[in-house]
Copies of this chain bind each other. A is one copy, B any other.
Amino acid sequence: MDQVMTKKPHEMLAATLSQELDAVNVLIRKRMASEHAPRIPEVTAHLVEAGGKRLRPMLTLAAAKMCGYQGDHHLKLAATVEFIHTATLLHDDVVDESAQRRGRPTANLLWDNKSSVLVGDYLFARSFQLMVETGSLRVLDILANASATIAEGEVLQMTAASNLKTGEDIYLQVVRGKTAALFSAATEVGGVIAGASEAQVKALFDYGDALGIAFQIADDLLDYQGDSKATGKNVGDDFRERKLTLPVIKAVAQATEEERAFWTRTIEKGRQQDGDLEQALALMAKYGTLEATREDACRWAAKAKAALEALPDHEIRSMLSDLADYVVSRLS
């Protein structure tokens, strides 16, 4: 029992949903094939097999199972959200000119930007075919809207990331696009396909939305206080890449004229020099913005847990609740 008790919540979920997850993995491998263009499964396998946690498909499976679903359309929807996620990763790495993802070289580095763009498009198209197969217009509506939120959030991030005028409202919209929109669509479609009540479907959306926001805020906070071994990133990567995230947005909002000049130079103009990261951290400490950001993340995690109350009492519900706690437990 001890061994089970020390499992992390997403590992508990994976164990409970292992049969369904195996079936999703079979479906993913089948659907990423292409008879004539072997480059497609090559590139996709590089990412899909790279040991991601399958968090998003797991959310769909969990939502459907918790709501008593008996069919197999949830498997298709789980594969759908994983394909959408993989496609956005491929395009993100082109946009960010990234060299590493999950500790391995990115597809754009191993092959080229062309392959990443086109294979991403192929996965979007395949995800679209999978969701049409469920025959649910409501599911299609949810995923179409999520796709638009994701794409708009990405463009917004590109244009707003280094603009000091970016406030917490725009940050939240970017975060929904980057992370929360696919989380909330993943949980919502699980409920819809299971025929859950409107109240339950709304609760599933709210859970996924709040969980995704907590997750992304935590990620952005860890960039400034994380242990690089645990996160795989160096402290201050976002600062060096001139990305305005919540801890900095909060510091900019309270900045003196002189401090504002510092942020203008380092973030807006990108003229950084030795000691700037330390100065940025000192300004965040002065206004307690790392602590305030942590509190925001915890509030969203609490909101996620509260949403679960409308859902059936089920072992999976407890695991989803623990997952919300776990997302913010990494923060000091």
- A residues adjacent to B (C-beta < 8 A): 34, 36-40, 88, 91, 94-95, 113-115, 117-119, 121-122, 124-126, 128-129, 132, 135, 137, 140-141, 143-145, 147-148, 150-152, 154-156, 158-160, 170, 173
Contacts and interface: CB of A to CB of B under 8 A. Distances in A.
Contact of A118 (B95, B119, B173): B95
A278 to B, nearest CB: 30
Given A117-B91, A118-B95, A137-B137, A34 B129 contact: no
Contact of A36 (B34, B115, B147, B156): B156
B117 A40 contact: no
Contacts of A155: 34, 37, 39-40, 115, 118-119, 122
A234 to B, nearest CB: 23
Nearest to A140: B132
Contact of A132 (B124, B126, B137, B158): B137
Nearest to A127: B144
Contacts of A132: 137, 140-141, 144
Given A91-B118, A95-B114, A144-B132, A37 B125 contact: no
Nearest to A35: B152
A129 B148 contact: yes
Contact of A145 (B129, B150, B152): B129
Given A128-B128, A147-B128, A148-B129, A121 B37 contact: no
A201 B289 CA distance: 61
B122 A144 contact: no
A299 B38 CA distance: 31
Nearest to A96: B114
A125 B154 contact: no
Given A132-B144, A140-B140, A152-B34, A121 B39 contact: no
A37 B149 CA distance: 11
A160 B40 CA distance: 13
A118 B150 CA distance: 10
Contact of A39 (B39, B113, B124, B158): B158
18 contacts: A36-B170, A37-B156, A37-B160, A39-B155, A40-B155, A95-B117, A113-B113, A118-B151, A118-B154, A118-B155, A119-B155, A121-B150, A122-B152, A122-B154, A125-B148, A128-B143, A128-B148, A129-B148
